[in-house]
Amino acid sequence: MVISALESFAQRTQEISSRIDGRSRINPFETGELQALYSVLKFDVKAASKRGKVEGGKLDQTDWERYYFAPAMMKAANSLRARTSTNPLTSNWLGSLQDAGMEFSYYLHQLQKMSPPDQ
């Protein structure tokens, strides 16, 4: 569950990054679409960081969430510092997304080395 959540966040981050990396111009429609994707990603990462768990609810935080998921979300939330209402190409979105993606990748790699396959 933790692995799939981290993989999902990493994939979403990569999707946005790949749509802006190397571009010099984007049209207003695509700018709005990217702003929406980035806004939702940023919201979800901050919510997960605050929760410290993959899902809400009354269940206690698992060790995998405590040692891998929560720190990844906290660091990724801090990395997503570019404002959502700005231009994706001129406001360092790529740097913010790459920093967050590195956090997801790092904790995902660590978790995959340490965890049983069903985590």
The closest alpha carbon to 62, from 119, 4, 5, belongs to: 119
Alpha carbon distance 91, 94 (integer Å): 8
Confidence of residue 116 (pLDDT cuts 50, 70, 90): low
The number of domains in the chain is 1
25-29 contacts: CB < 8 A, separation 24 or more? 25/89, 26/88, 26/89
Ramachandran category for residue 57: left, alpha or beta (phi over 0 → left; psi -120 to 50 → alpha)? left
What DSSP designation does 115 have?
S
73-108 pLDDT, tens per residue? 999 999 999 999 999 998 999 999 999 999 999 999
Residue 22 lies in a domain: yes
Residue 91 lies in a domain: yes
How far apart, in Å, are the Cα atoms of 75 and each of 3, 32, 66, 82? 17, 26, 13, 14
Alpha carbon distance 70, 107 (integer Å): 10
pTM here is 0.89
Residue 70 lies in a domain: yes
Boundaries of domain holding 83: 2-114
29-80 pLDDT, tens per residue? 999 999 999 999 999 999 999 999 999 888 899 999 999 999 999 999 999 9
Residue 104 lies in a domain: yes
